[in-house]
Amino acid sequence: MIFGATGDLAKRKLYPSLYHLFNKGKLTKRFAVIGVARRPLSHEDFKAHVKDSVLTSIGSNDNIDEFVSHFYYQAHDVTDSDSYMALKKLADDLDGEYSIDGNRIFYLAMAPEFFGTIAEHLKSDGLTDTSGFKRLVIEKPFGHDLPSAQELNERIRTAFSEDEIYRIDHYLGKEMIQNIEVIRFANALFEPLWNNRYISNIQVTSSETLGVEERGGYYEKSGALRDMVQNHMLQMVALLAMEPPIKLTTDEIRSEKVKVLRALRSIKDEGIKDYFVRGQYGEGQIDGKSVSGYREEHNVNEESNTETYVAGKLMIDNFRWAGVPIYIRTGKRMTAKSTKIVVQFKDIPMNLYYSMDKPLAPNLLVIHIQPEEGITLHLNAKKSGQGMETTPVKLNFSNKSVDGMNTPEAYEKLLHDCMRGDATNFTHWDEVALSWSFVDKISDIWESTKDTGFPNYEAGTMGPRAADELLAKDGFFWWPVTNLDVDNC
């Protein structure tokens, strides 16, 4: 059952993903999808809507009529028990028709204020009372701070146990995010070096060129810290920094990630300004076109102090990482759309090739998350010709060039995982709670300091100058995201 079936997420991501799974044979014929939303629609109208969504986003129509024949629709008011009774009746009928054995997945692709209410009704109106499995898939944001996340969690836990709750962080469905574990734990080359003896710093960048578009109202209350750092950025850090799990099971992996979040140095009060920088874009140029500043965007307060950019220095106080800064930055209206991780290795103890005019470049491992997918290893080699001059070289693996356009989208993988009952790539409550408690300390200070100096970076740049100073005071600089590209190698 997809709650929010006429919404943007369902249209752009969920139906195309289900269609892919169907055509790849990963969905048996024994499935039915009930679309649930406010407006009245017939089953036939809804099937046409799903068909249109698939055709618009994929452009293929193989087996499309057979696929949409599995879709049904229920007009619904999320606060009204009668709606849930009607939904239960339809679900029970389809259970019999498709021999589904009472297995149910409830996907909440709706505004988060409804999550608690829907979960409670699913229980009180009997939809969770089923002979098969029951799973709840929840979109972000999961609360807007720790207390609200706790309250939401308590409400959904009245109807679902922790192992039945699949909290989506779509970054965890991305091919190269899942690859972090493999790169680390399947290569003798990296794991022995993956610690404070050999790594000088790690940089995680997730930049966008887009502004807030139509989401000004939502973004005003969220900002980059809540929208990106609390979930996606901290999840990437946890995967980069965790200890090898004893097995690749959901519980073992999650418990290692939780340990990283517990070891994050807690920064509060006066200390925040030494570790975190916030920014907001002013007007500027993107791809040669003038764009307006954040405060001029639709549904945004003209004196808004909401941050559209965050840079931070994270310290993980454990044996492996003591002394290694992990820098993160994320923002809107930046120079390039790019998500990348740069692992910078320490300089070798003695440089035989050093000359004052040309220091040796450090070794870098770059993990390209999006839009390109791949890995680049930056090494030094001998410049061809006479003499022993060194030159930087790049070893490059591009996932796209191997897999073509067939890399499954994050939602496709996550939906499939949920159907199989594999919650590894979803966030556990402990991760959510620890991330909120880390981020809340920063937002508390930022919200009480109104003198922000916003806007403080021009659209089309890589953020405020203070973000460069954050690294410069440790003797580092941000590796540029653009000329590290796989395609340029």
**Amino acid in position 372:** E
Listed residue (185, 106, 178, 113) closest to 152, CA to CA: 113
With contact defined as beta carbons under 8 Å apart, do 196 and 223 qualify? no
Binding positions for ligand NAD, 241-260, rule CB under 6 A = none
Chain positions 99 to 118 lying near ligand NAD, rule: CB under 6 A, are 109-112
Decide if residue 139 touches ligand NAD (CB under 6 A). yes
Among residues 49, 70, 232, 416, which one is catalytic?
232
Contact between 239 and ligand NAD by CB under 6 A: the answer reads no
Smallest distance, ligand NAD to C-beta of residue 14, A: 9
Q: Tell whether 390 is in a known binding site.
A: no
Residues 9-48 that bind ligand NAD (CB under 6 A): 9-10, 12, 37-38
Segment interacting with ligand NAD (CB under 6 A) among 7-15, 235-243, 361-369, 371-379: 7-15
Subset of residues 391 to 410 that bind ligand NAD, contact rule: CB under 6 A: none
Which residue number has the CB closest to ligand NAD? 7
How far are the Cα atoms of 8, 138, 185, 232, 416 from residue 211, in angstroms, in the given order?
18, 25, 37, 18, 31
CA distance 191 to 1: 42
The answer to whether 400 is a known ligand-binding residue is no
Q: Could you tell me which residues are beta bridge partners of residue 397?
A: 375
Residue 8 touching ligand NAD (CB under 6 A): yes
52 touches ligand NAD by CB under 6 A: no
* Choice between 228 and 314, CB closer to ligand NAD: 228
Judged by CB, which is closer to ligand NAD: 57, or 398? 57
Of the candidates 317, 149, 322, 297, the residue with the CA atom closest to the CA atom of residue 219 = 297
Pairwise CA distance, residues 418 & 414, whole Å: 6
Task: Check binding of 4 to ligand NAD (CB under 6 A).
Answer: yes
Task: Please check if 78 is assigned to a binding site.
Answer: yes
Q: Give the distance from CA 303 to its chain's centroid.
A: 29
> Is 10 annotated as ligand-binding?
yes
Stretch of residues binding ligand NAD (CB under 6 A), selected from 70-78, 317-325, 357-365, 465-473:
70-78
Contacts of 3 by beta carbon, 8 Å cutoff, 6+ apart: 36, 37, 76, 78, 106, 107, 108, 109, 110, 114, 118
- Beta-carbon neighbour count of residue 173 at 10 Å? 22
76 is catalytic: no
Helices (H), 59-98: 64-68, 81-98
Query: Which residue positions form the known binding site?
Result: 4-11, 38, 77-78, 140, 170, 174, 208, 227, 332, 337
Q: Could you list the residues that contact ligand NAD (CB under 6 A)?
A: 4-10, 12, 37-38, 76-78, 109-112, 139-140
Q: Report, as residue numbers or ranges, the catalytic residues.
A: 232
